[in-house]
C-alpha cells in the first residue's frame, strides 16, 4: 500500500462525536464517602467538607466557574501568601475540583492545572 493511499484513507475517517461535558457538582454524600477513605483526621475531613460547601454555595453552577477569569478560578497567584489570596474559596476547593475531574464531573483546562501550581491527588480519587 502506498503512503498516499493511507493518508487519503485516514482523511476519510471521522472521529466519533462526543457530547460536551456539562460540569456538575457531586452530592456532599459522595464526596464525604470518598473523604472517609483517606488516612486523615476527622477534623480535616470536616474542614474539607466545609470548603466544598462554601464552593458549592458560591458557584452552584459550575459552568459559570469554568468561564470565570483564571486568576479567580485558581485562587492564588504566584508570590501570594496564604493570608492574602486572590480567592480563598476557589483556592480551598482545589482538592474537591480534582476529585470532580477524576470522577468525570468536570474537565479542568490546562491553564487551571498549570496555574494552580503544586497539586496533590488523594489516594483512591480515581
Coarse DSSP helix, strand, coil percentages of the chain, rounded to the nearest 5 percent: 55, 0, 45
Evaluate whether 34 touches 125 at the Cβ level (below 8 Å). Answer: yes
The tens digit of pLDDT for each residue in 46-97 reads 999 999 999 999 999 999 999 999 999 998 877 777 778 888 999 999 999 9
The tens digit of pLDDT for each residue in 6-28 reads 555 555 656 555 556 799 999 99
Distance CA 121, CA 126 (A): 9
83 vs 115: which has the higher pLDDT: 115
Domain-wise residue ranges, the chain: 23-115
Amino acid at each position: 500500500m502506498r503512503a498516499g493511499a493511507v493518508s487519503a484513507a485516514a482523511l476519510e475517517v471521522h472521529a466519533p462525536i462526543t457530547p460536551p461535558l456539562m460540569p456538575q457538582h457531586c452530592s456532599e454524600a459522595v464526596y464525604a464517602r470518598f473523604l472517609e477513605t483517606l488516612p486523615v483526621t476527622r477534623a480535616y475531613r470536616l474542614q474539607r467538607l466545609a470548603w466544598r460547601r462554601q464552593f458549592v454555595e458560591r458557584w452552584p453552577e459550575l459552568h459559570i466557574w469554568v468561564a470565570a477569569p483564571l486568576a479567580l478560578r485558581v485562587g492564588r497567584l504566584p508570590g501570594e501568601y496564604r493570608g492574602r489570596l486572590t480567592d480563598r474559596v476557589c483556592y480551598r476547593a482545589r482538592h474537591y475540583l480534582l476529585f470532580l475531574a477524576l470522577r468525570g464531573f468536570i474537565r479542568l483546562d490546562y491553564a487551571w492545572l498549570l496555574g494552580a501550581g503544586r497539586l496533590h491527588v488523594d489516594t483512591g480519587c480515581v
